[in-house]
Structure 1
């Protein structure tokens, strides 16, 4: 199961999650959500994140949002991430 990161790179918290994935070799699929066009306010995105904010991730059937929670999840769930994180 591949990690899906819902993102708009204008958002600093989104960039933090993407950089963390790249630095730690986590394979992910970036799904672009255009904040300027209000794509984060659609009913489809609300199913992923009821708060309708970015970033959000889906890993299998697990959904998570809020950048700090995402970073903690990534650091503890992927074996390739070094212990110092």
Structure 2
């Protein structure tokens, strides 16, 4: 994601991934639904016909990753959670 690559990934919400901040399907990643793979590939084929959308997605993906998972942001989140854990 940080390199502007668009990940092809199981759908985060559908498959119950737990992350502090979830990416948006079809904006930050290409979601795969194992129960309906053909619809994913149909939509992917549409996306491949539109280089400007792919470029927009790559930029949005990188910006999202930097905003929520840059090492400094991740470190701050870990420290905040550790402090909250010690207080609780």
Length-normalised TM-score, structure 2: 0.29
**Greater helix share, structure number:** 2
**Greater strand share, structure number:** 1
Larger Rg: 2
Length-normalised TM-score, structure 1: 0.30
